[in-house]
Amino acid sequence: MTKSELIERIADRQEQLSYKDVELSVKLILEHMSKMLASGERIEVRGFGSFSLHYRAPRVGRNPKTGEAVSLEGKFVPHFKPGKEMRERVNDF
């Protein structure tokens, strides 16, 4: 399912909102989640899961083409932990 399919599916279930409203809403939700994560904020959605940042320590990497060593700085990466209901529903097959 892509973002546009998600928008269509939500619009199909919505009586009161136009396709355009749903499209703007989905984009705003994703933008707000990205912005909050990028400012170091956690996201917690009960039954769905939580998003947080994990730290990756500095390390020496290699340029895969030349084999040359490159020092890489520490960084944060987004992490998702599925919630209980998500884990159960996905595993129930």
Partner 1 sequence: MSSALTKADLAEKLYEDLGLNKREAKELVEIFFEEIRTALESNEQVKLSGFGNFDLREKSQRPGRNPKTGEEIPITARRVVTFRPGQKLKARVEAYAGTKPQ
Applying CB under 8 A, the residues found at the interface with partner 1 are 1-3, 6, 9-10, 13-14, 16-17, 21-22, 24-26, 28-30, 32-51, 53, 55, 73-80, 82, 85-87, 89-93
Nearer to partner 1, 36 or 62 (CB): 36
Concatenating the DSSP letter of every residue in 11-36 gives: HHH-SSS-HHHHHHHHHHHHHHHHHH
CA distance 87 to 23: 28
Q: HSE on the CB side for 51, CA within 13 Å?
A: 16
CA distance 30 to 79: 15
Nearer to partner 1, 62 or 76 (CB): 76
CB of 13 to partner 1, least distance (A): 6
CB of 70 to partner 1, least distance (A): 16
CB of 3 to partner 1, least distance (A): 5
